[in-house]
C-alpha cells in the first residue's frame, strides 16, 4: 500500500516588508505505530544536496510500508538560501548579527536537572520519556516567547526544533565546503555508524555547541546519565541524532542524492521505521575518529593554494597536502612552498577558495583513526 504524503507550511521568519517566509513540511504516516523521524536540510544556505536527498526519500517512502511517522523539512532556511553575492551563496551566517545558522538551538542543563528531580524510582522509561518531551517542548516555547526577543537565527532554529523535539531519530543534512561524505555520531550510538553507507564517522561526546544534533541528544544523554547515577540502573530512551555531511556545498547531484537516500533508508529499516528486509548497509570500508582527533590545519600565511590531497584520500606523514604560490616572490626560489602532512591522516574537507588569508582553516582531517568495517 502506498503511503500518503501530507504537506503543510510553517513560518520561520519575516522579511523587511513584513511578509512571512514559509518552509514546506512533508509528513508520511505509517499504518502501524512506531518511532517518529525528523529530517531537515539546508540550514546553511549553500548546503543544498540534502534537498535532492529528501526528494528521493519521498519517492522511496511512498511505496514502502512504514511504522510511525517521518517528518521532512527541505530548504529549512529560506533566508540563508537567498543570500547571494554574485555566483556564491553566503548563507552560513545570519547577515544581521553574524550568528551561525546552526548554533541557535535550545539547551538548558539546569532546566533539565530540575526535571530529573521529579522522576521517582518506580516510573517507567516510557512515562519519563513522554513527560520529558512535553516538558522540553514547553521550554522551547518559553524561549521563543522571551520578553527581550531573539535574533533571527535563533528564532528560526527554535521553530524547527519544535518539530524535531517530537522525534526519536533526528537527521540534519549538511555539506562541507569541498568535502567527502562523513557523519557526526554521539558516542552512545556508535553502533549506528555501520547502518549508514557513509565511509567517515566522527564520534562526538556529550557537549553542546549549539547544533541541532547536539540539541537533540544532549538532553536525553544527560538525563539518562543523571537518572542512572541516582537509581543505579540503566535508562534507555532510544533517541538518536546525527549530522550527515553529504559532500560539497553549492552542488546538487541527483545520482549521488539517490545513493544517500538509500543510505538513510537502510538506517530507518534497521530502526523498524521502514518495513523492507532488502535494505541492508553496504559492505564498505568505514573509518572513525573521536572528535578530539578530528583536527583543523590552519595556515600561518596568505597566498594562492593548490589543494593536492583530495577529501577521503589517505595521506602519510610528510606527504604534500598543498602547494602555495606567493605573488610577491615570483622572481625567486621563494615563489612556492609546500605544506606537508604532520602525521598520517585523512583529509575530510578543505577550504573552497584558492585565495587564502593567514589563519584560514585549510583542511579538516582525521588523525589516529580506527577501522570500523
Q: What is the pLDDT of residues 228-264, one digit of tens each?
A: 999 999 999 999 999 999 999 999 999 999 999 999 9
What is the pLDDT at residue 1? 58
Widest pairwise Cα distance in the chain:
79
Kindly list the domain boundaries of the chain, sorted by start residue. Answer: 5-284, 293-367
Q: Is 272 helix (H, G, I), strand (E, B) or coil?
A: coil
Q: What is the pLDDT of residues 139-195, one digit of tens each?
A: 999 999 999 999 999 999 999 999 999 999 999 999 999 999 999 999 999 999 999
The CA distance from 348 to 180, in Å, is 6
Q: List average pLDDT for each run of 10 residues in the chain, which is 373 residues long.
A: 88 90 96 96 96 98 95 96 87 89 96 97 96 98 93 95 98 97 97 97 97 98 97 95 97 97 98 95 97 95 94 98 94 94 98 94 97 96
What is the pLDDT at residue 184? 98
Q: Does domain 5-284 have CATH number 3.20.20.70?
A: no
What is the pLDDT at residue 71? 98
Strands 287-290 and 200-204, how do they pair?
parallel
What is the pLDDT at residue 223? 98
What is the pLDDT at residue 20? 93
Alpha helices in 145-170 (DSSP H): 152-164
Question: Taking Cα atoms as reference points, which of 308, 346, 344 lies closest to residue 325?
Answer: 308
What is the grid cell recorded at 24? 514546506
Fold of 293-367: OB fold (Dihydrolipoamide Acetyltransferase, E2P) (2.40.50)
DSSP state of 190: G
What is the pLDDT at residue 95? 85
What is the pLDDT at residue 301? 86
Amino acid at each position: 500500500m502506498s503511503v500518503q504524503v501530507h504537506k503543510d507550511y510553517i513560518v520561520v521568519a519575516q522579511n523587511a516588508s513584513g511578509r512571512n517566509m514559509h518552509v514546506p513540511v512533508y509528513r508520511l504516516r505509517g499504518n502501524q505505530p512506531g518511532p517518529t523521524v525528523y529530517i531537515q536540510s539546508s540550514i546553511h544556505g549553500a548546503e543544498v544536496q540534502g534537498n535532492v536527498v529528501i526528494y528521493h526519500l519521498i519517492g522511496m517512502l511512498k511505496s514502502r510500508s512504514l511504522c510511525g511517522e517521518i517528518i521532512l523539512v527541505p530548504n529549512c532556511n529560506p533566508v540563508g538560501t537567498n543570500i547571494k553575492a554574485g555566483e556564491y551563496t553566503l548563507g552560513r551566517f545570519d547577515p544581521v548579527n553574524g550568528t551561525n545558522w546552526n548554533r541557535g538551538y535550545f539547551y538548558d542543563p539546569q532546566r533539565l536537572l530540575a526535571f530529573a528531580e521529579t522522576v521517582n524510582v518506580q516510573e517507567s522509561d516510557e512515562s519519563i520519556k513522554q513527560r520529558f518531551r512535553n516538558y522540553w517542548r514547553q521550554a522551547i516555547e518559553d524561549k521563543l516567547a522571551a520578553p527581550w526577543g531573539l535574533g533571527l537565527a535563533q528564532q528560526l532554529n527554535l521553530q524547527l526544533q519544535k518539530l524535531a523535539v517530537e522525534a526519536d531519530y533526528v537527521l540534519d543534512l549538511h555539506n562541507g565546503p569541498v568535502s567527502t561524505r562523513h557523519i557526526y555520531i554521539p558516542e552512545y550510538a556508535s553502533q549506528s555508524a555501520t547502518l549508514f553507507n557513509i565511509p567517515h564517522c566522527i564520534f562526538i561526546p556529550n557537549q553542546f555547541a549549539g547544533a541541532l544534533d547536539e540539541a537533540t541528544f544532549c538532553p536525553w544523554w544527560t538525563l539518562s546519565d543523571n537518572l542512572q547515577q541516582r537509581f543505579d540502573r540503566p535508562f534507555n530512551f532510544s533517541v538518536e541524532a546525527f549530522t550527515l555531511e553529504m559532500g560539497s556545498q553549492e552542488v546538487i547531484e541527483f545520482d549521488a542524492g539517490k545513493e544517500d537516500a538509500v543510505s538513510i533508508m537502510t538506517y530507518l529499516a534497521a530502526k523498524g521505521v521502514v518495513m523492507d528486509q532488502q535494505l541492508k548497509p553496504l559492505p564498505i570500508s568505514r573509518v572513525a575518529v573521536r572528535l578530539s582527533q578530528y583536527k583543523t590545519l590552519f595556515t600561518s600565511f596568505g597566498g594562492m593554494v593548490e589543494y593536492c590531497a583530495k577529501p577521503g584520500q589517505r595521506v602519510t606523514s610528510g606527504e604534500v597536502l598543498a602547494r602555495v604560490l606567493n605573488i610577491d616572490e615570483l622572481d625567486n626560489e621563494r615563489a612556492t612552498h609546500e605544506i606537508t602532512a604532520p602525521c598520517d591522516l585523512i583529509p575530510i574537507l578543505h577550504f573552497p577558495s584558492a585565495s587564502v588569508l593567514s589563519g584560514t582553516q585549510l583542511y579538516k582531517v582525521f588523525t589516529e583513526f580506527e577501522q570500523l568495517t
